[in-house]
């Protein structure tokens, strides 16, 4: 058994670590885990590794490359290969203790690999987090509208879809994507949306492109009217080109849902854009989905006001 | 081609087939690096500052300072060569040897002379004709004889047209015979197809891959829907873009043709050059940034017809292509920034192991002759009925191509990309056109893409990162190729 000193010092944190490893990632004895960490996160990495090893999981730690997700992905795959040796049995997972929001496709990880990321040291006891989510969900469900504020003063007014109340989602990590922790979010089906959303978090595109990942240096602004995308802006011409073609040609102009994930600071809000199901351009692009994330304010409106 | 024996650095000089980038990069490990591309081995070569400067300048003292280990590495990659070596002769000898190899036979079969499209830039003349069973039988027997020939280890068939899918039944019947013969004789058999894609269905594509040994298919998409359907107009007036991309995407997403490599060819001229970028975005949205799909951007050239009104000048095309490739890279579309292999032979016209059989049973050496008005009869080298068994076709008009290049009589004799190009198209050279591939003009931008793929990031330009001496010879060569 590992000594007490190398486990998380706080009982709630220890519970959170075990919850992530054995419930969310579903690791068991004989499985393999690589922990990729930023400078300054060695303490957390040590807790993780010790707890995983105590559960019979083989662990390697690698230093993430803050300048290159591709390089970080390569390091993780190399470490997994070392752990694997000639043995194929057992599950494999990656845990990223990295500030920059990561994307599975940009990391070039195989779709079969489960991966989670804790961008900031925000270990929460699962029961406390569940209570926080339930509270947020209840407050949101009771409101006739929610006002989402993002960078540059952008505001988006959301009204709920009739008969589809918000719900809390807190499923296990899925292979093929890097799940951001702390896990869980309020899923809010949208009835109408008006205003602007300034996305500077993460973009995910469910196509094998290299454009997914952080929007930190190439934020995207989306203007919506009545739940449909009206205008897109982005300084990156390639990303803008893709978004414009997606919206104008492939009819990816519907805001299907909004997710709000409470974390330590402002909540992470994500818009999920989908193709108009009644008028898809092609069967090949009908399943196209793009999600745009941002750190945002999330304010249930006690009384409905006009759109900004 | 073997590496020269490593002698004292004084005996080695930079290869005439070496291209050196002028940018410095920061590597994943933090160190600085420069890169060269040796076309004799089609290899991207990382260099330190001293090696980059020595190779650029060719200065004997600088080369001597590299040390035996580095000289040995660069010599093994043919970046450094023996001063006495006649590299042009080595390269053309290699091409001659590759062309003379009889163990790999390639046959392009045109099962029909008709096409359901009437593209404005196409040089072929399409005619409907009833399928002739007797001719088809002769073609089958010829390919079967190649497969049965103990001196042959690989036979590859390319289905070409016209539009080959108009003769799907013929393709299936012949493929069944060829795959059976290959199994019986232990010969490797592969097939590829050049198609306009308009007649594809998911079922057909999966069956061609599964039953007909189709390993590679190239289909043409000339732009987003409105552009493609205008340029590649079907005779019934219907567009084909949506249907074609949907079939492709569904087949790939469903894993229904797991080993098939798909090339998406974009024929580019003045009529669609502004539509390439939107097309790339569309391909990404459609899920075609798929590992099985490779993008081929091709400048429209004369096919015996006059395309001077729409043809893009080679350098102008190459400059725009570099932009498109950068966009394609960012989108995750697959393509090879630089050639990854040297050419064994330039084309079917430069090897008697390759031939084209038209629907009338005539054999050609050059794929740009059959169905082309005025060129068709001139290019015939034999009739299938006249050739016995697997005998190689008679020599065609371009089988002496390497003699011409080796004698220094062609521009290719002076070109540093000859080993990865082979001269591109002897027919176009003889007709006075410039058939050079775009890589000749935009290799530096392509090299940059290849380097970035390896996780290197460019350092800002400036004296601190620039090699001290510029190789004047290479600069000049760039102007004169």
B20 & B165 share domain = no
On the question of pLDDT at A12 being above 90, the answer is no
CB pairs under 8 A between A and B: 83
Instruction: Search chain B and give the residue with CA nearest A286.
Output: B286
> Does residue B242 share a domain with residue B128?
yes
Q: What average pLDDT score do residues A35-57 get?
A: 93
Domain shared by B164 and B261, yes or no: yes
The reply to whether B332 touches chain A by the CB within 8 Å rule is yes
Does residue B277 sit at the A interface (CB-CB below 8 Å)?
yes
Give the closest residue to A187 by CA, choosing from A203, A204, A164. A164
Do B278 and A211 lie within an 8 Å CB cutoff? no
Q: A250–B282: do the CB atoms touch at under 8 Å?
A: yes
Distance from A210 to chain B by nearest Cα, in Å? Answer: 5
Is B59 in the same domain as B195?
Answer: no
B224 touching A, CB under 8 A?
Answer: yes
- Burial letters B180-191, b for 16+ CB under 10 A, else e: ebbeebebebbb
Q: Number of structural domains, chain B?
A: 2
B292 in reach of chain A (CB within 8 A): no
Q: Are both B271 and B374 inside the same structural domain?
A: yes
User: Is B285 at the interface with chain A, CB within 8 A?
Assistant: yes
B250 contact A CB<8A:
yes
Q: Is residue B238 part of a domain?
A: yes
Residue A201 has pLDDT above 70, yes or no: yes
B64 phi, psi to nearest 5 deg: -65, -30
Which among A70, A238, A282 is the nearest to B246, CB-wise? Answer: A282
Residue B277 lies in a domain: yes
Same domain, yes or no: B164 and B247: yes
Domain boundary among B360, B386, B412: B386
Confidence class for position A171, pLDDT limits 50, 70, 90? low
Give the model's pLDDT for residue B283: 97
A279 in B contact zone (CB under 8 Å) = no
B108 neighbors B158 (Cβ within 8 angstroms): yes
Q: Is the peptide bond before A182 cis (omega within 30 degrees of 0)?
A: yes
Residue-wise pLDDT for A99-157, tens only, equals 877 888 778 888 888 899 888 887 877 777 778 888 888 888 888 899 999 999 999 99
**Domain boundary pick from B371, B386, B401:** B386
- What pLDDT score was predicted for residue A2? 43
Residue B227 domain flag: yes
pTM, rounded to two decimals: 0.85
Distance from CA of B298 to the nearest CA of A (A): 21
Q: Is residue B297 part of a domain?
A: yes
Structural domain range at position B370: 97-386
Which of these three, B386, B405, B436, is where a domain ends? B386
Are A210 and B250 a contacting pair at CB < 8 A?
no
Closest Cβ–Cβ partner in B28, B285, B290 for A246: B285
Question: Are residues B338 and B447 in contact, defined by beta-carbon separation less than 8 angstroms?
Answer: yes
Residues B147 and B219 in one domain: yes
Per-window interface: B 338-357 vs A, CB < 8 A: none
CB B48 within 8 A of CB B24: no
Length of chain A: 308
**Are A144 and A303 contacting, i.e. CB atoms less than 8 angstroms apart?**
yes
Region A216-240: mean pLDDT is 96
| Angle, CA of A63, A69 and A75, to the nearest 5° | 45
Is residue B331 within 8 angstroms of chain A, CB to CB? yes
Testing the interface with B: which of A65, A74, A208, A274 to mutate, by most B Cβ within 10 A? Answer: A208
Helix locations, B349-471, DSSP H = 401-406, 418-421, 426-430, 439-453
Whether residue B254 has a cis bond before it, omega within 30° of 0: no
B402 found inside a domain: no
Query: Cβ–Cβ of B286/A238 closer than 8 Å?
Result: no
Residue B423 within a domain: no
Q: Same structural domain for residues B262 and B289? A: yes
Do B356 and B302 fall within a single domain?
yes
Residues B331 and B303 in one domain: yes
- On whether both B136 and B46 belong to a single domain, the answer is no
> Mean of the per-residue pLDDT values for chain A?
87
Q: Is residue B421 part of a domain?
A: no
Q: Touching check for A242 and chain B: CB below 8 Å?
A: yes
pLDDT along chain B (481 residues), means of 10: 48 95 88 96 96 94 92 96 96 96 96 89 82 90 98 97 94 98 98 96 97 97 95 88 95 93 96 97 95 95 74 93 97 96 95 95 91 78 93 93 88 94 92 90 97 90 57 37 38
Residues B61 and B132 in one domain: no
| Residue whose structure tokens are 């798909």 | B262
In a domain, residue B92? The reply is: no
Which of B284, B324, B329, B458 is the best mutation test for A, with the most CBs of A within 10 A?
B284
Burial A177-207 (b: 16+ CB within 10 A, else e): bbbbbbbbbbbbbbbbbbbbbbbbbbbbbeb
Residue B304 confidence (pLDDT) = 67
Scanning the structure block, which residue is given the tokens 């409101």? A143
CATH code where residue B110 lies: 3.20.20.70
């Amino acid at each position: 058994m590992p000594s007490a000193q190398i486990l998380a010092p706080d009982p709630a944190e220890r519970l959170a670590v075990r919850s992530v490893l054995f419930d969310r990632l579903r690791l068991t004895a004989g499985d393999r885990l690589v922990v990729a960490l930023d400078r300054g996160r060695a303490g957390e990495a040590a807790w993780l590794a010790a707890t995983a090893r105590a559960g019979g999981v083989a662990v390697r730690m690698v230093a993430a490359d803050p300048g290159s997700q591709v390089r970080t992905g390569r390091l993780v795959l190399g470490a997994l290969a070392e752990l694997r040796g000639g043995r194929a049995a057992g599950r494999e997972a990656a845990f990223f203790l990295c500030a920059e929001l990561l994307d599975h496709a940009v990391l070039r990880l195989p779709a079969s690999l489960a991966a989670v990321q804790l961008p900031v040291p925000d270990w929460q006891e699962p029961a406390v987090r569940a209570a926080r989510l339930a509270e947020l969900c209840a407050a949101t469900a009771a409101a006739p509208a929610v006002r989402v504020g993002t960078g540059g003063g952008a505001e988006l007014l959301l009204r709920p879809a009739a008969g589809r109340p918000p719900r809390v989602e807190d499923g296990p990590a899925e292979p093929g994507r890097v799940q951001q922790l702390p896990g869980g979010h309020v899923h809010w089906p949208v009835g109408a949306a008006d205003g602007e959303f300034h996305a500077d978090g993460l973009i995910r595109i469910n196509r094998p492109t290299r454009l997914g990942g952080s929007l930190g240096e190439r934020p995207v602004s989306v203007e919506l009217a009545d739940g449909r995308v009206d205008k897109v802006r982005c300084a990156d011409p390639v990303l803008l080109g893709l978004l414009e073609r997606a919206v104008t040609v492939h009819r990816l102009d519907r805001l299907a849902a909004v997710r709000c994930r409470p974390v330590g600071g402002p909540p992470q809000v994500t818009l999920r854009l989908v193709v108009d199901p009644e008028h898809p351009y092609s069967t090949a692009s009908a399943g196209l989905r793009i999600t745009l994330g941002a750190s945002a304010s999330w304010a249930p409106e006690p009384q409905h006001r006009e759109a900004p | 081609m073997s590496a020269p024996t490593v002698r004292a650095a004084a005996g080695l000089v930079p290869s005439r087939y070496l291209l050196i980038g002028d940018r410095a990069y920061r590597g994943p490990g933090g160190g600085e690096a420069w890169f060269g591309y040796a076309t004799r081995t089609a290899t991207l070569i990382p260099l330190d500052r001293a090696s980059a400067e020595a190779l650029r300048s060719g200065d004997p003292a600088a080369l001597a300072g590299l040390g035996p280990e580095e000289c040995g590495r660069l010599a093994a990659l043919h970046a450094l060569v023996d001063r006495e070596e006649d590299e042009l002769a080595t390269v053309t000898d290699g091409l001659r040897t590759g062309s003379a190899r009889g163990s790999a036979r390639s046959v392009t079969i045109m099962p029909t002379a008709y096409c359901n499209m009437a593209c404005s830039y196409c040089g072929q003349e399409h005619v409907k004709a009833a399928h002739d069973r007797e001719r088809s039988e002769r073609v089958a027997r010829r390919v079967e004889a190649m497969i049965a020939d103990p001196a042959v280890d690989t036979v590859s068939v390319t289905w070409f047209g016209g539009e080959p899918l108009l003769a799907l039944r013929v393709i299936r019947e012949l493929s069944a015979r060829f795959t059976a013969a290959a199994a019986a004789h232990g010969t490797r058999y592969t097939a590829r197809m050049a198609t306009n894609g308009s007649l594809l269905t998911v079922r057909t594509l999966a069956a061609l891959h599964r039953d007909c040994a189709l390993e590679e298919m190239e289909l043409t998409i000339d732009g987003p829907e409105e552009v493609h359907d205008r340029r590649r107009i079907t005779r019934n007036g219907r567009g084909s873009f949506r249907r074609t991309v949907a079939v492709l995407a569904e087949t790939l997403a469903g894993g229904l043709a797991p080993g098939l490599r798909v090339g998406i060819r974009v024929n580019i001229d003045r009529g669609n050059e502004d539509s390439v970028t939107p097309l790339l975005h569309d391909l990404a949205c459609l899920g075609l940034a798929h590992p099985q799909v490779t993008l081929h951007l091709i400048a429209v050239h004369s096919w015996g017809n006059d395309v001077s009104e729409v043809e893009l000048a080679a350098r102008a095309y190459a400059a725009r292509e570099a932009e498109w490739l950068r966009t394609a890279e960012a989108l995750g579309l697959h393509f090879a920034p630089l050639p990854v292999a040297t050419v064994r032979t330039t084309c079917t016209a430069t090897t008697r192991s390759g031939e084209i059989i038209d629907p009338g049973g005539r054999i050609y050496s050059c794929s740009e002759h059959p169905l082309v008005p005025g060129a068709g009869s001139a290019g015939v080298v034999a009739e299938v009925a006249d050739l016995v068994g697997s005998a190689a076709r008679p020599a065609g008009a371009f089988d002496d191509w390497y003699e011409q290049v080796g004698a220094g009589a062609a521009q290719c004799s002076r070109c540093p990309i000859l080993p990865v190009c082979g001269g591109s198209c002897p027919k176009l050279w003889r007709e006075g056109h410039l058939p050079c591939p775009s890589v000749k003009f935009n290799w530096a931008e392509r090299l940059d893409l290849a380097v970035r793929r390896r996780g290197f990031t460019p350092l800002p330009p400036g004296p601190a990162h620039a090699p001290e001496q510029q190789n004047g010879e290479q600069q000049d060569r760039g102007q004169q190729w």
